[in-house]
Amino acid sequence: MVADLRKELEAKILASPSDNIALIGRLNGVKSELTYKALGRIMFYLSSRIYSSGRKVSSIGILSNRKCEAYIAVLCAYFLGIKFVPLNPKFPKERLKKIIALSEIDLIMFDSGEANLLQSFEPDSIDLSGIVSSFLEAPEGSCISQGLSQDHIDENAFAYQMFTSGSTGAPKGVPISYGNLNAYVCGISQIIEYRQGDKCSQFFDLSFDLSMHDIFVVLYNGGTIVAAEDIDLMMPTKYIDKNAIDMWFSVPVLGKVASATEKSIPTKHKLRDALFCGEALPMAVANAFTSLLDGKAGVWNLYGPTEATIAFSARNTANVATDLVIAPLGVPFGENIAAILLENGDVVTEFEDGHEGMLLLGGSQVFSGYKPDTGKEAFHIWKGIQYYVSGDLVRQNQRELLYLGREDSQVKIRGFRVELGEIEKVFRELYELDLLAVFVRGNVGNLEICVAYQNDLDIEIGDELTARLPDYMIPSLLVKCDTLPTNVNGKIDKKALAKTYG
């Protein structure tokens, strides 16, 4: 960890050579390049607008996604020491309203493309695109760049808050502190080599915690963030070539798309390293992806929940045992400490082969608790160390961790964390169902959500459902059953359903 990542990062941005490019992406709807120098100046200009007319701000919502405006807003809030909360424009309005209320947002910064959506929300707002326009029209030199991070901010203060799916039906708020982010950026930068001027992919939506890696790790190391457009997610090899991408970071399924796409549209430019995170990485995907690299040794599997700030452990997949289907989670990096909670209640911190149990995560990347409090204990204290209980089952093998699966009903769909209980609650409420089961079919990395129900209704996916759930939580299959199967305990047998409809 460095003494103060916030001050160090801002100093790097302001001192960067004048032609170094920080951002490539849409700015005011036009494909643009923004240098580090210009980024510093524009942030300072934006900050003066945030505080205009004596406004007091404690929590900023950012309604923008994969555009220069979004990155400028994130960095400006971060340097000013104001907590920011990404508001994904693709999410249903009702979900966004809940997030705005739960995180006590008092100012929304939006890009002009989201002006219509903004009308649905109450807090005061700032039009980022309008500010960018007036900045660009101002005479060169009239906007000075001066540091925003002069005041001291406590390392325990919240830098940002992400929302994940919650089993109670409401999104669950995960606040990440300045200290958490500091530990992550420094820890990951020690094991993955980023070079000044590297062109780095930016595929993740802002509301996905992995986008914070794309912003903070890349800029800390002097790289260029290249915002992917929607079409780039479907033609990733063209995106690599067009932008001469050096560093790739995505969920495994996009890696699979890239390998498949390469057969039709081969890449001339090769990547140096590829990082995968967000869900279990099948070794078949990792191995196929090496054809997009300039060497064979650059595919990494990163593991970590949002509660431990982005990723927690890493593993280069180059020399993984051939019998493994899923890439190992590797070993914790930086200041991270892992432990395993055994079935008998013991905790092992000294790893020995064969130990199996729940993975516990400790160290300076681990968050301090959900906000608002969910009422459920998220931590396990052992010998004075507070560990986050990950819910991930692991086995210790040859000094590293192997992933075995989840303990609860949480699944990963396209990298998004989904609590099946949240979908169940929405179905119960919308259709007044008593007997239903939400289950998944398919294989790791390619799971589909299914809902089976016992009722006379003929349910179809329609507006009422899409108004409540984001698209990745919409079931792929609805099954109307005369009688739902039950197991010996009389509970609905989800395994039998998955077998029948899988």
Binding site for another protein (CB under 8 A): 230-231, 233-235, 238, 242, 253-254, 256-257, 260-261, 264-265, 476
Which CB atom, from 5 or from 450, has the smaller least distance to another protein? Answer: 450
Task: Choose among 88, 83, 80: nearest CA to 111.
Answer: 88
Euclidean distance between CA atoms 371 and 254, whole angstroms: 31
The secondary structure of the chain in percent helix, strand, coil, rounded to multiples of 5, reads: 30, 30, 40
One-letter-per-residue 3-state SS of 266-304: CCCCCECEEEECCCCCEHHHHHHHHHHECCCCCEEEEEC
Report in angstroms how near the CB of residue 499 gets to another protein at its nearest.
19
Distance of closest approach, residue 218 Cβ to another protein, in angstroms: 24
Tokens at 159, concatenated: 């830098």
**Backbone φ and ψ of 33, nearest 5°:** -120, 135
Q: Transcribe 296-342 into DSSP letters.
A: SS-EEEEE--GGGSS--EEEEGGG--TT-SB---BEE-TT-EEEEE-
Which of 121, 130, 122, 117 has its CA nearest to residue 49? 130
**How near is the Cβ of 479 to another protein at its closest, in Å?**
15
Closest to another protein by CB, 397 or 476: 476
Nearer to another protein, 265 or 435 (CB): 265
Regarding beta strands 448-453 and 436-441, do their DSSP bridges make them parallel or antiparallel, or are they unpaired? antiparallel
Whichever of 193 and 471 has its CB closer to another protein, that residue is: 471
Positions of E strands within 103-157: 107-110, 124-127
Cβ-based nearer residue to another protein, 230 or 456: 230
When the beta carbons of 443 and 486 are compared against another protein, the nearer one is 443
Least distance between another protein and beta carbon 201 (Å): 15
CB of 222 or CB of 282, closer to another protein: 282
Q: Give the number of residues written for the chain.
A: 502
Q: Are 179 and 210 in contact (CB under 8 A)?
A: no
Q: How far is CA 458 from the centre of its chain?
A: 35
Q: Cβ of residue 234: shortest distance to another protein, in angstroms? A: 4
C-beta of 251 vs 271, nearer to another protein: 251
